[in-house]
Structure 1
Amino acid sequence: MTTGIGMPTVHFAPRTRTQRRVARALHLEPGGPPSARAAVAGQVVKALLKTAWSSVPNSFEGLLRFQRATGALGRVRTVPRGVSVAQEDLGTCTAEWVRAGAPDERKVFLYLHGGGYFFGSARLYRPSNWRLSASTGRPVLALDYRLAPHHTPYDALDDALAAYEFLLRSGYAPGDIVVGGDSAGGHLTLSLLLELRRHEVDLPAAAVCVSPWVDLLCAADSHRLNARSEAVIPAGKLAWLGRRFCAGKDGDDPLLAPRRADLTGLPPLLLVATGGEILRDDARELFERARSAGVAAAYQEWDGLMHSFTIFADHVPEGRAAFRHIAEFLHTAGA
């Protein structure tokens, strides 16, 4: 399912068996059945990640336990030859530059990782960030924003603002910056855009949100309807986490619920979701609101895939294809 501004397809003629396999993966489109590899990967992730998260108690100690476990995974993430990684100190937090090949240094992609605002890291996302750099032909600045339970989504937003300001001070024009993220990072992407607009700071050229957590209160119907088909997130755990973040706050605060925000004036926006995830309706409804507000928005819905499937691009062909779609969206949007 693809809706919104058109995205051209790039064709090439593969010769070797490996090239043919890569070609088939890159040319996968939303709307078809999942590949066999994606189906198997989804079951494995559901058995391991969702089960592990489900077993964590709703407590400060539980969040830290899960955070430590996923942090250990990040330490074994590698990148292929030809990809460089360099650290950047932003003051309150750090980030890392990921460059695949010889990217255009005049442009940049600021990436905000997912993880419910309490786990995840730039290092954990290296397998997707190097592909993002390769497909878009620009360096990726992957932000390691501060995490719960010691920090809040507002601290993460401050870190995202600091990263954007750092890019401006480094000489990047707003029109040469793209911002994106998945899950909680998709929420942070939207919150960043709204906060930049509120402060009348020039917005980036475009934004990309994969499986975005658009409303921390988890009010959309798919949180209930897709609770069993969801392969990554235990719906009840995410709802508890969202209530914790929103406690004492206005539930309609656009920084907590961009799903209900005025989206007028935002840059071209690509929203990507999967049909069986609990955040599906968040993305669908945000797309409709964005189009109604005059935003040049596009929406892709992939069938039979897991939440934030781009993270699993090493194992899921559709994850690799999604980066080609992102690159085509940016080209069409003039970013």
Structure 2
Amino acid sequence: MTPTDPAVNTANPADATSTRTDPAARAAALYRAVFDPSADPSLRGLRGRFDRMLDEFPLDDTDVVDEITVAGRPALTVAPAGGGTGVLLWFHGGGYVIGSPAGYRHLGSALARVTGRTVILPDYRLAPKYPFPAAPEDATAILGEVLQAHPSAVLGGDSAGGGLALVAMTALRDSGGALPTAAVLLSPLADLTGTSASVTEHSATDPAVTATSLADIRAAYLQGHDPADPRASPVFADLHGLPPVLVMAGGSEALLDDARTVADRIGEAGGTVELVIGDGMVHVWPLFESFLPEAAVAMERIGGFVGAVQTVG
């Protein structure tokens, strides 16, 4: 690929409506149950529904889960049976207001399986109690400490966690720090302005992210801060000098343009980037790999990308 022309793949691995209609509908229904406007509107209620959705997914009972502390923050590690070869640091999603390492154990388990690495799931501070810039400060400190111990670690994140991964990498780059060997961004929330065409186009049908939910995130997380600040919306950051990046987004999600713009700007800055668009897929569709065929294929794609990293640390 040329630096200014990211590789773009429209993924439809099932290639048959009959094989994806029911599982895809189930994934959308799970999101709708979490963000049901008639349910308990409190933050506690929303966090509980999100974690309960994640708890429905299976864990590999051979995984080894431990509690650690990274840069002063609690974290979980999920290692495949026999131990991982290398480390994958993963920032969970949840719009900077929900999500937890415990809730993301199942995704950590799947990532450990496909990459063969020990997955670190840190507990960064959440809004509204800890508004911007608490999350990027935590993410940058956590990434820096992980890289000190594991210089060839891979970085990843989904949704808000994908945005945090970008912000942390640019912060370390600007300070002269080390960078991860590669990065994986799933449906990154990289533009909090909410002005992209895909937000307008897909808000009515996206079960997870809408223009309204982005406005709620701005209110809770930014609390009046400029949403175009590159530390909040890394689509506005200088994205030169980053390691190889895999960006994945659902073709039917509101954050599709966030992913496209991130990939374009990394490519324009001379970086190596691969953009995978899941045809008809929802936000962070690899999350549903236990029952959605396209998600299982996407997870294998992630494993292949990480496996191509030559140096392990």
TM-score (norm 1): 0.82
Give the structure 2 partner of residue 26 of structure 1. Answer: none
- RMSD (CA atoms): 2.6
Give the structure 1 partner of residue 266 of structure 2. Answer: 290
Instruction: Using the TM superposition, give the Cα deviation of residue 221 of structure 1 relative to its aligned residue in structure 2, in angstroms.
Output: 0.7
Give the structure 1 partner of residue 163 of structure 2. Answer: 187
CA 1:284–1:75 in structure 2 vs 1: closer, same or farther (change >3 Å)?
closer
Give the structure 1 partner of residue 150 of structure 2. Answer: 172
The answer (yes or no) to whether the contact 2:144–2:172 under 8 Å persists in 1 is no
The answer (yes or no) to whether the contact 2:94–2:159 under 8 Å persists in 1 is yes
CA distance in 1, matches of 2:182, 2:144: 16
Give the structure 1 partner of residue 133 of structure 2. Answer: 154
The answer (yes or no) to whether the contact 1:34–1:305 under 8 Å persists in 2 is no
The answer (yes or no) to whether the contact 2:144–2:178 under 8 Å persists in 1 is no
Instruction: Using the TM superposition, give the Cα deviation of residue 72 of structure 1 relative to its aligned residue in structure 2, in angstroms.
Output: 4.4
User: Do residues 79 (structure 1) and 59 (structure 2) align?
Assistant: yes
- Indicate the percent of aligned positions where both proteins have the same amino acid: 30
Aligned with residue 109 of structure 1, among 88, 91, 94 = 88
The answer (yes or no) to whether the contact 1:217–1:246 under 8 Å persists in 2 is no
Q: 289-298 or 77-86: which moved more?
A: 77-86
The answer (yes or no) to whether the contact 2:27–2:288 under 8 Å persists in 1 is no
Aligned with residue 124 of structure 2, among 129, 135, 145 = 145
CA distance in 2, matches of 1:190, 1:85: 26
Q: 210-219 or 40-49: which moved more?
A: 40-49
Mapping 1:11-30, distance limit 5 Å: 30=11
CA distance in 2, matches of 1:129, 1:209: 14
CA 1:307–1:318 in structure 2 vs 1: closer, same or farther (change >3 Å)?
same
TM-score (norm 2): 0.88
User: Do residues 199 (structure 1) and 178 (structure 2) align?
Assistant: no
SS of the equivalent of 1:98 reads: strand
Instruction: Using the TM superposition, give the Cα deviation of residue 97 of structure 1 relative to its aligned residue in structure 2, in angstroms.
Output: 0.7
Instruction: Using the TM superposition, give the Cα deviation of residue 47 of structure 1 relative to its aligned residue in structure 2, in angstroms.
Output: 3.5
CA distance in 1, matches of 2:33, 2:241: 41
Give the structure 1 partner of residue 243 of structure 2. Answer: 267
The answer (yes or no) to whether the contact 1:85–1:96 under 8 Å persists in 2 is yes
The answer (yes or no) to whether the contact 1:94–1:143 under 8 Å persists in 2 is yes
CA 1:165–1:262 in structure 2 vs 1: closer, same or farther (change >3 Å)?
closer
CA distance in 1, matches of 2:47, 2:37: 13
Instruction: Using the TM superposition, give the Cα deviation of residue 153 of structure 1 relative to its aligned residue in structure 2, in angstroms.
Output: 4.2
User: Do residues 53 (structure 1) and 26 (structure 2) align?
Assistant: no
Instruction: Using the TM superposition, give the Cα deviation of residue 124 of structure 1 relative to its aligned residue in structure 2, in angstroms.
Output: 1.6
Instruction: Using the TM superposition, give the Cα deviation of residue 49 of structure 1 relative to its aligned residue in structure 2, in angstroms.
Output: 2.7
CA 1:292–1:144 in structure 2 vs 1: closer, same or farther (change >3 Å)?
same
* Unmatched 5+ stretches in structure 2: none
1:193-238 C-alpha deviation (Å, 9 max, x unpaired)? 1111121111111111001111112121100101133132243122
CA 1:244–1:204 in structure 2 vs 1: closer, same or farther (change >3 Å)?
same
SS of the equivalent of 1:222 reads: helix
The answer (yes or no) to whether the contact 1:50–1:233 under 8 Å persists in 2 is no
CA distance in 1, matches of 2:290, 2:160: 21
Q: Number of residue pairs matched? A: 306
The answer (yes or no) to whether the contact 2:153–2:180 under 8 Å persists in 1 is yes
Q: Look up the equivalent residue of 2:150 and give its one-letter code.
A: Y
Instruction: Using the TM superposition, give the Cα deviation of residue 252 of structure 1 relative to its aligned residue in structure 2, in angstroms.
Output: 2.9
The answer (yes or no) to whether the contact 1:187–1:258 under 8 Å persists in 2 is yes
CA distance in 2, matches of 1:69, 1:276: 23
SS of the equivalent of 1:158 reads: helix
* Unmatched 5+ stretches in structure 1: 8-28
The answer (yes or no) to whether the contact 2:199–2:254 under 8 Å persists in 1 is yes
Give the structure 1 partner of residue 25 of structure 2. Answer: 43
